[in-house]
Every structure is written in structure tokens, then in C-alpha cells.
Amino acid sequence: MPQLALISPQDHLHRHHHHLLFLFLLISATNATRAAAITSTGYQRFKEAPQFYNSPTCPSIETSGINEMCSDEAVHVAMTLDVAYLRGSMAAILSALQHSSCPQNILFHFIASATTNNHHLRRIISRSFPSLKFQIYPYDSSAVSGLISTSIRSALDCPLNYARNYLANVLPPCLHRVVYLDSDLVLVDDIAKLAATPLGDHSVLAAPEYCNANFTSYFTPTFWSNPTLSLTFAGRKACYFNTGVMVIDLQRWREGDYTTKIIEWMELQKRMRIYELGSLPPFLLVFAGNIAPVDHRWNQHGLGGDNYRGLCRDLHPGPVSLLHWSGKGKPWVRLDANRPCPLDALWAPYDLLQTPFAMES
């Protein structure tokens, strides 16, 4: 701002300069607000992750076809990517690579809002993972925003949260099978095992099922008291499953046009309230009771717990291959606030955020 300091009040243009000064201050204030918003969400600096190499027994994904991004030998992972959850996504990617015996055979398919700067996201990912094989697909969230009815937790209403409904449309048609992962989780086991889950002759997706959860509670009394609606579950042993970890047969999904089936339930929800939570219940309506099972170790969910009441969750009994901080609390937020839950210590080793201290050294 030195040119402004040079302005003399005696200057015959001083009225004009006062206007300029005012304008300049206004612009500076706006920039300051924007800068604050950027630091709290996305324009964070991330460290470079170590390079991970395939073990000698890994199949080659290069020779198996023209389009490497569709190789049947590769493990395809789909995740959403946005500035707000970038730190979580980076940790999830690192954890998947670190526990894989064929890390160079993992291909990432990132869905990002068409309105965000995907070039910037690409640079951030490439800087931390220089040899990562990935693609960013722009997702037009305006199509879904009209379908989202206000749920009890507003974070669940983020349009990108619904991107999992559209994977079959957004990802290339040559892609047959994908593992969908939320951004608030880390793997502690080889993702290839999860990706190889048998889907049987008919299942479109596989996920851990929780038949002890109270299935009734995911839908409203309006839904259950209307036989034309509740008969949807007739003859199905419908159990709750979490949509944060799913193995999806995209081929079968496209053949059955399940995106449309999910949208139909979302349209009904707009006219009459049949469920409370955001993107999960339409998946239950369409798939519950017809999914292929996955061992519970692959989605130890709920670790986010209830942030506001400061409740920390414990692991479910049994072995652990994937830790999922679903719920209100996120480990990076609690770690930054110096109020971590005990299990957040298991997320911390995968955190790639560059701290100010590390930047100086």
C-alpha cells in the first residue's frame, strides 16, 4: 500500500484519492475474509508421501488393455474430493497405498464438484503423491441439489455426498468394478482383499450389513403406515448398511439403472417425508436385503461419535481392516482442537498436513 501513503492531503486530487483509499480498504477487507476462509478449508499445504512399490508378484496393469484407467487387474477406488474434506481424503489415500501389497495397481477415481478448481485439486494430489494414478471427474451437483430435502444433519445435505448415486454415470463406461470410500476413513489392511469381494450371481453391491441395528428407525411412520411404500421391503431380509464403504459392480448398476431408482425415492421424499437422514435411506430402499456381505472388519464405522456432547466411540468387537470416523466428529478437527478421542491417534499417522513447524524446518 505504499502508493497510498504517498498521497498528500494537499493534492488537488485528494477527494478522488480518498475514494480510491476507501475502495482499496474495501478490497483488502474482502481479500482478508477470503484468505481466512481458504485457510480454514482447503488451501492447506500437504507433505509428500513416501513412494510405495509393487511387490514382485503383482500383476501388471499396463499390459491388460488400451485404457489403463479401466484395467481389470487394477483395484479401482472412487472417492469424492473437495476442499473441506481434503485432509481426510489425503489420509485415506495414503493408508490405502501403505497397506497394499500392490500399491501401484491402485487407481483412484476422484469425483469433484464441477464448480471447484479441479486443476488446483490435481496439483495438490500430485504434489503429495507424484506417481499416483488418478483421474478427477467433474460432477455437476446442480442436478442433485434440487432433489435434496433438508435432513436433520445439514452436513449430509452437501451435494457431493450424493455423488455415490451417480458413479455409474460419472465414471468411464469401461470401468466394471469400483470400491467406493468416504473421505473420513483409513485402511489398515490390503484394499485388494475388499475389492475382490464376491458379488454372487446378482448382487450389485457389497457392504458390511448390520442386522442388529433398528431398521425401522431409518424411515418415518409415514413410510411404514403406507403399505404401497413399506411393501418395498416385503420378502427382503433388509438390514442396515453404511454407504461409506461399498464394492460396486458398475456394469450391473448400469444395466439395472439404479441411479434412476434412487432418484425416484429422492423425488418421493421431496413430496412426503419418508426418511430423516440424507443420502443413505434411498440406498437402503433400493438395495437392503439384496447386497453381498462383507466382513464387519471392513467398516468399523461411527468413530466420529457425537462431537457436540464430546462422546467418543469405541471399536466394535472383532478384527479391524478399516476405521471409519462417520458421525459428527472428525479426527483432524478434534486433534487440532487438542481434544482428541483415544482412537483418533490411529488416524494421526496418516495425516499429511504440513504443520507450520514442519514448514520452517
Ligand X SMILES: *[C@@H]1O[C@H](CO)[C@@H](O)[C@H](O)[C@H]1NC(C)=O
Positions in the binding site for ligand X (CB under 6 A): 214, 216-217
- How does strand 209-210 pair with strand 240-241? antiparallel
Nearer to ligand X, 10 or 214 (CB): 214
Nearer to ligand X, 253 or 275 (CB): 275
Nearer to ligand X, 221 or 349 (CB): 221
Name the residue among 160, 102, 112, 115 with its Cα closest to residue 136. 112
Nearer to ligand X, 115 or 217 (CB): 217
Residue 289 Cβ vs ligand X, minimum distance, rounded to whole Å: 17
Residue 216 Cβ vs ligand X, minimum distance, rounded to whole Å: 4
Residue 299 Cβ vs ligand X, minimum distance, rounded to whole Å: 22
Residue 214 Cβ vs ligand X, minimum distance, rounded to whole Å: 4
Residue 229 Cβ vs ligand X, minimum distance, rounded to whole Å: 15
Nearer to ligand X, 52 or 223 (CB): 223
Q: In 203-230, which positions are buried (b, 16+ CB within 10 angstroms) versus exposed (e)? A: bbbbbbbbeeeebeebbbeebeeeeebe
Nearer to ligand X, 108 or 219 (CB): 219
Residue 276 Cβ vs ligand X, minimum distance, rounded to whole Å: 10
